[in-house]
Amino acid sequence: MQCNVSLMDSCSALIYFVPTQPQTLEQTVSLFHVDSNRVNTTVDGFLINVNCSCPADHDEFVSHIEYHVQPGDSWEIVSSKFGSFVMEMPNKTLIVSQTITLDLLCGCSGRVELISYRIVAGDTLYTICSRFGANIEQTSALNGIDVAGFIHVGDIMFIPAQDSEALKKSNSRTRIIVGALGGAVVFLLGLSLILFWVCLHRSKGREESKSASRGAKYLLTLFLSSTKPKQNELPFFSSDKSTVFSYDEVCDTTMNFDQSQKIGQGSYGSVYLGHLKGTDVAIKQMMNTKSKEFLAELNILCKVHHKNLIELIGYAAGGDSLFLVYEFAENGALNEHLHNPSLKGYTPLSWATRVQIALDAAKGLEYIHVHTKPYYVHRDVKTSNILLDSNLRAKIADFGLVKLLEHSPEVGAATSKIVGTFGYLAPEYVRDGCVTTKSDVYSFGVVLMELLTGQPALNKIAGSETAQYTEHRSLVDLMLSALRDDDNPLLELTKCVDPNLIEYHKDSLFQADSNMTNFLHMFSIYKMAILSKDCVDNDWQRRPDMCKVVLRLSYILACTLQGEAKDPDHRYLTLLANDSSQQTP
């Protein structure tokens, strides 16, 4: 749970520990270095009371525990000993017999004790809340679950404890005093707000409402000062690449952020269509509370330029908002063209166009993974963050969650906060908080599956929706299930392919007189399906890097566009059934 030191910097918290092997109460007490009266047994493990705090060098609440490194230990083994609550540090070498301090993830709330719970297979939001007697809405809000009811195996959830000791300590006399004082404070505060509102609206006209807030101006000043070059050093962005726009310019071009100009809504703000310096632009409006995401995106897009990355034109601040000004992608986001496109006024994408889009996006990711220093991990690769220009060429967008890798693309960086979008998150990232470029590869594999099927990354399970929660099935599960049919590798795949792909006919696919184009398209569809499967491999080390993904997609695109077979005898089905290389020929 993210720190909030203004609320509290430490608390008493609970960890729901389920050992991987049978374990006694005494063994658990010894492992966690706590008194036995702070450990209670449960039906499948132990509920452990720990001291939870927010150290100065941490973004998350943690509990410190001393651990003596054993022979054969790895970070994965150590974490599993503690129920996978340990924040792993893969860059730190474990030395046998050395005593180290482990950080176990926990949470603090100003009202109740929180239980840290690791989600296991079969759990749903409803069953977890029922088990602990917790309120679903409160638990969802506490954990930021934005997809109703969907949770991911391996995630840590923070559940309000119903019998919090913190609540039991207050006595009636204290409540009476606090209640009386609270009433007086509320009355005075309300009166002050009324007077302030009257004065504010008397003194402020339209011009003052447009002026930049101090906070927003300060952030912009901070960024500009941090990017000033040292002596004999070039600035990392040039004035012809990024322009500082005034707040008035942004207001005027968006018609004061009129709804008619709104073209999108993201996790960090709204996007408006504008026209600045003779060109159409997309303007992302962010509250100044999102300064971290604003500065992250501004920083990378001022440094990195590639035809398959959305171009930053400029930025602005004002009215308690921060603004990023991008090139305008005329055809919007890829997801709009895949999920019921005809209902949104789009013509379904052809197979060749889909492969080209995949290759474009792969090249953009390859660039930030391989050809920049430091290396970058996007951390939110998804079809809604792939934008299409007037020629349906793809550009990666939304770099607010980007993570820097200083040493090597495949050397992970530990992160204590899991960010991104459900359905696209790599399992090791969710489980261990370790992010590498292979995390993006997993997400890209899901994008390939969407291009193949036309389905979203998460699908509601029919009949599971209630007033309180909804069950979902991931597209990854659906596709992997289809690709497990070893006897006929194409039969199940054809059932998953997007019906909007009209270039081939599934009914005639296996007939001897099927035309060559149909065979070739099915060949390239199968090759992309295998590539998507490789990208979402549970073992991140077995996933291809984006360089290999680009090569394989280039081959798939060539096959699609050539309209002729590489095999003169047309032995496609034999090739597909025995395709074990999974590499670009």
Q: What is the DSSP string of 153-195?
A: TT-EEEEE-TT-HHHHS--HHHHHHHHHHHHHHHHHHHHHHHH
Q: What is the model's pLDDT at position 577? A: 41
State the total domains in the chain.
Answer: 4
Residues 346 and 296 in one domain: no
Of 107, 86, 71, give the one whose Cα is nearest residue 31.
86
Residues 447 and 479 in one domain: yes
Place of tokens 């109460």: 25
For this structure, is 380 an active site residue? yes
Residue-level pLDDT, tens digit, the chain, 585 residues: 777 655 667 899 999 999 888 889 999 999 999 999 999 988 788 999 999 988 877 778 899 999 999 998 888 899 889 988 998 887 788 888 899 999 999 988 877 889 999 888 767 777 788 778 888 778 888 887 754 456 777 888 899 886 533 333 333 333 444 454 455 555 555 555 555 554 544 444 444 334 434 444 444 544 444 444 433 333 333 334 568 899 999 999 999 999 999 998 876 778 999 999 889 999 999 876 677 778 778 878 888 889 999 999 999 988 778 899 999 999 999 999 999 998 888 999 999 999 999 999 999 999 999 998 888 999 999 999 999 999 999 999 988 888 877 555 555 555 656 788 888 999 888 887 888 999 999 999 999 999 999 999 988 766 555 545 556 778 999 899 888 866 676 778 888 899 887 554 444 444 444 455 566 677 889 999 999 999 999 999 999 999 999 999 999 998 888 753 444 444 443 444 444 344 444
Binding residues: 284
Residues 347 and 479 in one domain: yes
* Three-class SS state of 264: strand
Q: Among 269, 300, 327, where does a domain finish?
A: 327
Residues 20 and 162 in one domain: yes
Residues 375 and 433 in one domain: yes
In a domain, residue 564? The reply is yes
Distance, CA of 14 to CA of 163 (rounded, Å): 12
Q: Among 183, 203, 223, where does a domain finish?
A: 203
Binding residues for ATP: 284
Residues 429 and 351 in one domain: yes
In a domain, residue 584? The reply is no
Residues 300 and 354 in one domain: no
Residues 311 and 350 in one domain: no
Cα 268–chain centre separation = 12
Per the residue annotation, which of 103, 360, 380, 534 is the catalytic one? 380
In a domain, residue 3? The reply is no
Residues 257 and 368 in one domain: no
In a domain, residue 128? The reply is yes
Contact 48, 39 (CB under 8 A): yes
Burial (Cβ within 10 Å: 0-12, 13-18, ≥19) of residue 520? buried
Kindly list the distances between the CA atom of residue 342 and the CA atoms of 36, 336, 476, 500, in Å, as whole numbers in the listed order.
63, 9, 25, 10
Residues 38 and 156 in one domain: yes
Residues 323 and 348 in one domain: no
Residues 361 and 478 in one domain: yes
In a domain, residue 413? The reply is no
Range of the domain at 423: 335-408+419-461+472-577
CATH assignment at residue 103: 3.10.350.10
CA contacts within 13 A on the Cβ side of 539: 2
Contact 428, 529 (CB under 8 A): no
Q: What is the model's pLDDT at position 321? A: 86
